[in-house]
């Protein structure tokens, strides 16, 4: 059985004097442990799709099932990581990474130690007592990753988590996030504008059409790229071929627009 299933999902935003059809007839399934990326032209509904999967927004028609149950509200099963880290500036890094556990009433010595171990694995052990403004952008995103993982969600939704970072930090974080997600056997959905990032992080890449977004094409990433961590995959000979393939399809969308 699919872990996540979208069945004919549509979303139209209504306001007093207008309506905006954001997503049209989207259906796809994700298996447990799969990494999916969503790309497409600006405004095609990528973030709306993540919001629908998170349960923050409900579909106008269609259904989204997680583990066979219809998603009707946000759930602790799902973690969200955004472009901005949204760490609370008045809390230390340790307090920030355990705030989710505390809110859920799950902050115990065991869960606190687990969160601190993850912080250590991501190279932030010496920064637990610091405040977010004492850390670099890349460090704060690593802390945001720990905060998301510490509550134990099964499904991770990543909305352009690297786009505010400088290029070198972004490449390093891609490797770190990828390895952490694989090690913890999580299912992940990444929204990105970067074709390369989608290719090296994912098992499949879903390309959405212009607004209202519908599925234009689904690319299955070949085994030789999937077997590598992102930095190595970017340097593999198959990478350029696949980049061109996706690029051509995106360009054809631009011509149709």
Ligand X SMILES: Nc1ncnc2c1ncn2[C@@H]1O[C@H](COP(=O)(O)OP(=O)(O)OP(=O)(O)O)[C@@H](O)[C@H]1O
Residues in contact with ligand X by the rule CB under 6 A? 13, 20, 22, 42-48, 211
Q: Which two tokens stand for residue 248?
A: 């051509």
Q: How far is the CB of 19 from ligand X (least distance, A)?
A: 9
Nearer to ligand X, 33 or 62 (CB): 62
Nearer to ligand X, 13 or 231 (CB): 13
Nearer to ligand X, 94 or 159 (CB): 159
Nearer to ligand X, 132 or 213 (CB): 213
| 42 CB-near residues (< 8 Å, 6+ apart) | 193
Q: How far is the CB of 237 from ligand X (least distance, A)?
A: 30
Residue at token pair 């990581």: 81
Alpha helices in the chain (DSSP H): 46-54, 93-103, 109-121, 137-150, 167-183, 195-201, 223-226, 230-234, 237-256
Q: How far is the CB of 211 from ligand X (least distance, A)?
A: 5
Q: How far is the CB of 39 from ligand X (least distance, A)?
A: 9
Asked if 20 and 69 count as a contact pair (C-beta separation under 8 A), the reply is no
**CA Rg value for the chain:** 18
């Amino acid at each position: 059985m699919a872990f996540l299933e979208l069945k004919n999902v549509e979303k139209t935003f209504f306001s007093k004097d207008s309506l905006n059809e954001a997503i049209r007839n989207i259906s796809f399934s994700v298996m447990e442990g799969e990494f999916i990326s969503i790309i497409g032209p600006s405004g095609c509904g990528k973030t709306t799709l993540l919001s629908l999967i998170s349960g923050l927004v409900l579909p106008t028609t269609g259904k989204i099932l997680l583990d066979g149950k219809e998603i009707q509200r946000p759930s602790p099963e799902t973690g969200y990581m955004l472009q901005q880290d949204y760490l609370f500036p008045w809390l230390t890094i340790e307090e920030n990474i355990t705030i989710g556990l505390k809110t859920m009433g799950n902050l115990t010595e065991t869960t606190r130690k687990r969160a601190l171990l993850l912080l250590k694995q991501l190279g932030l052990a010496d920064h637990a007592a610091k405040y977010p403004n004492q850390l670099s952008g890349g460090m704060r995103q690593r802390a945001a990753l720990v905060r998301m993982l510490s509550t134990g969600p099964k499904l991770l939704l990543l909305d352009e988590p690297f786009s505010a970072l400088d290029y070198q930090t972004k490449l390093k974080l891609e490797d770190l996030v990828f390895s952490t997600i694989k090690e913890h056997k999580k299912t992940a959905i990444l929204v990105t504008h970067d074709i390369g990032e989608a290719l090296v992080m994912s098992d499949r890449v879903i390309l959405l059409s212009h607004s209202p977004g519908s599925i234009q094409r689904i690319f299955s990433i070949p085994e030789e790229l999937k077997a590598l961590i992102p930095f190595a995959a970017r340097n593999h000979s198959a990478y350029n071929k696949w980049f061109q393939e996706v690029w051509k399809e995106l360009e054809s969308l631009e011509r149709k627009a």
